[in-house]
Amino acid sequence: MSEPLETWLDAAIGETREALVRDGKPIALRVTRASDEGRRARWGELYCARVRELDKRRRGAFLDLGLRDQQGFLPLGDDGRARMRKERVNLREGQGVIVSVTREAARGKNPVIELTEIGHDGEDPHRIAQHESDSELLLAKPAPDPQIRTKLDAAIEDALARTTPVPGGGMLTIDAVTALVAIDVDAGARPGSGDPERFALDLNIAAANEAARQIRLRNLGGIIAIDFVSLKSKSHLKQLEDAVRAAFTNDPWSVQFGGLSKFGVYELARSQLRTPLQEQLRDPDGRPSAETVALMALRAIEREGRSQTGRQIACTVAPEVKAWLDTAELDWRAQLSNRIGMRWAIDSAPREAFWPRDKIDARAL
């Protein structure tokens, strides 16, 4: 019997975060933002759409979903037709259709959609339904226990780190690039034994389990290559392959196993349904986005306001973070005032001062 699952859920200003937890460790994270509404497609959503372009070279059609930042990509077969359940249908530019989102945007590619119905006018592309799990998040409330928010902060920080420890000792280094996800296993300061082969096997099995957790936690997909510590024994190689398969047993996304190469690299492919957490919360240069830091600042002000009842809260952030707050379509001012009252002020750090983007100075006066 698998361990019981726990859920950490918190609706903060502009952002709802949810973690699925097993045995005290988060195994999956989901973040929804108010700024995504009307801009980005989410997995499982249903849209009334219009065919904008049929691209034979890319074997696909680009569809207007009524979103400001994205258009959907519908794969076409070699015959130039789209699959709709068990049928193959011809499409024309300007045609109205009903589609569902099967994969969110990732690695610079458009969200992928599938055809559900034809015969609509397509005059007003718009979303007509959300996935039930996302609909539930709209009803979420702030976590009653402040520790839940703290735990979610730590879980997301863990999921964005390039390196993460292996239980018992050792380290994983995770690099998600355009072509694949590369994971390196390193022994680090893991305590050893007199049997190097057994030491390597134990490390690799622990690393396989942690890699599976991190992959799911970070919403990583596509080709994944795990570079394990070298093993010589054929029986140990077989044990490692079995351990990798077992580690992904409860993964909700489709996983295909390629096996170990002669160089000790295990290749697998995992379906990419949701946008990787790294892409959702950080800029291409790896820094937290201005929006990510701005929402962190609002949580910091709220935290200070609740712990310092009645006192004015001042917060200083980087200029680009303040600029995001000033131009955000989100009505964060009213929400923040409703939570702690009209006793806060947010200032921008002087442009001539060195102030890292992710630095937040929230304090009671």
Q: With respect to residue 3, please indicate whether it lies within any of the assigned structural domains.
A: no
Burial 161-195 (b: 16+ CB within 10 A, else e): eeebebeeebbbebebeeeebbbbbbbeebeeeee
Q: Is 37 helix (H, G, I), strand (E, B) or coil?
A: coil
Q: With respect to residue 205, please indicate whether it lies within any of the assigned structural domains.
A: yes
Q: Work out the pLDDT band at 192, boundaries 50, 70, 90.
A: confident
Q: Are 20 and 28 in contact (CB under 8 A)?
A: yes
Same structural domain, 264 and 177: yes
Same structural domain, 290 and 210: no
Which tokens in the block code for residue 341?
């009252």
Tens-place pLDDT, residues 249-262: 989 999 999 989 88
The residue out of 75, 106, 129 marking a domain boundary is 129
Same structural domain, 261 and 356: no
Tens-place pLDDT, residues 97-154: 999 999 999 988 999 999 999 988 888 999 999 988 777 777 788 888 889 999 999 9
Same structural domain, 177 and 254: yes
Q: With respect to residue 17, please indicate whether it lies within any of the assigned structural domains.
A: no
- Give the type of residue at 175: D
CA distance 290 to 292: 5
Q: Can you give the pTM of this predicted structure?
A: 0.90
- Give the type of residue at 43: W
Nearest Cα to Cα of residue 71 among 80, 63, 79? 63
Mean pLDDT of 328-349: 95
10 versus 4: the higher-pLDDT residue is 10
Q: Work out the pLDDT band at 1, boundaries 50, 70, 90.
A: very low
pLDDT of residue 198: 92
Task: State the CATH number of the domain containing residue 68.
Answer: 2.40.50.140
pLDDT of residue 2: 57
Strand partners, 363: 314
pLDDT of residue 143: 86
The conformational region for residue 310 under phi > 0 = left, psi -120 to 50 = alpha, else beta, is: left
Q: Work out the pLDDT band at 195, boundaries 50, 70, 90.
A: confident
Considering the chain, what is the average pLDDT of its residues? 93
Same structural domain, 244 and 335: no
Same structural domain, 263 and 311: no
Same structural domain, 289 and 265: no
- Strands 15-22 and 96-103, bridge-based pairing: unpaired
Nearest Cα to Cα of residue 228 among 197, 256, 264, 273? 264
The residue out of 223, 246, 277 marking a domain boundary is 277
- Strands 25-33 and 265-270, bridge-based pairing: unpaired
Report the domain count for the chain: 3
Mean pLDDT of 7-24: 94
Same structural domain, 189 and 257: yes
DSSP string, 218-239: TT--EEEEEEPPP---HHHHHH
Q: Are 286 and 165 in contact (CB under 8 A)?
A: no
The boundaries of the domain holding residue 290 are: 282-364
Q: With respect to residue 151, please indicate whether it lies within any of the assigned structural domains.
A: no
